[in-house]
Amino acid sequence: MTVNTPDRPETARSGTPGRQPALPEAPPQRRQQGPSPEKGEFVRPLTRRQIDDRMRELGELYTNTSSHQVRASDVSGQDRSAAFRRRLAGHMRRPGFELLVAETAGPSGTIGLTACAYGFPVRGDGPWWDGLDGWYLPESLLRVAAFGRLFAIADILVERRVRTQDQSREWNLARRLQKRLLSDHAAELGVTLVDRDNADKLEALLSWGWRSLSAEAREASPLAPSRLLVLR
């Protein structure tokens, strides 16, 4: 007589009673990577018409990124935005003016403005920029301006994270913007002015590669309300 018995499951190898076979380890999960910092924001210039169309948006960016501490007695954000837009409109009339914006796509696919920077060439024969006149510049910079290789960066508007994170990296957004402005105009040097009481902005600019001028330049304007910085 033949007896059919069910197969017995293997529970252990010979010589190791009661020991379960080892299961293969699950592969480590990879951390999801975001876009490269070099490509996190798309940088492009705006035409004058495009600037006019987005002037209010640029004003809002200014109020959201301005490093000045606003006291209770200061003007409102709306007034500060309006003042910025007036300055920008005046700078747009300068020959060679250029404004760059940085944009990024949000979760819904909408394109948002994250930063901007703008400026214009400084010529040896003027006209000069607000507060940046002939007596303000040392002879060395006047020579660079005479050859059309000096570019004034009037403002760099970036979020707080750009001011505090990876400031020395070449892909830092502020560094990308200022480098693009200089390269677009084949400028040898960049110059900018910083209010002496705006320590936050001064610290950020120094971290992005800007430097104070030599003793020759400081002696040229010891009582000037602004500091003159240079970018090579």
The dihedral of CA 103, 108, 110, 114: what is its sign?
A: negative
pTM to 2 decimal places: 0.77
pLDDT at 84 over 50: yes
pLDDT digits (tens, 9 = 90+) for 123-163: 877 666 665 655 567 788 888 988 999 999 999 999 988 98
Q: Can you give 91-107 as a three-state secondary structure string?
A: HCCCCCCEEEEEEEECC
pLDDT digits (tens, 9 = 90+) for 22-72: 555 555 554 444 444 555 689 999 999 999 999 999 999 999 998 555 544
Is residue 229 within 8 Å of residue 205, measured between CB atoms? yes
The whole-angstrom distance between residue 97's C-alpha and the CA centroid of its chain comes to 19
The dihedral of CA 88, 89, 91, 97: what is its sign?
A: positive
pLDDT at 78 over 60: yes
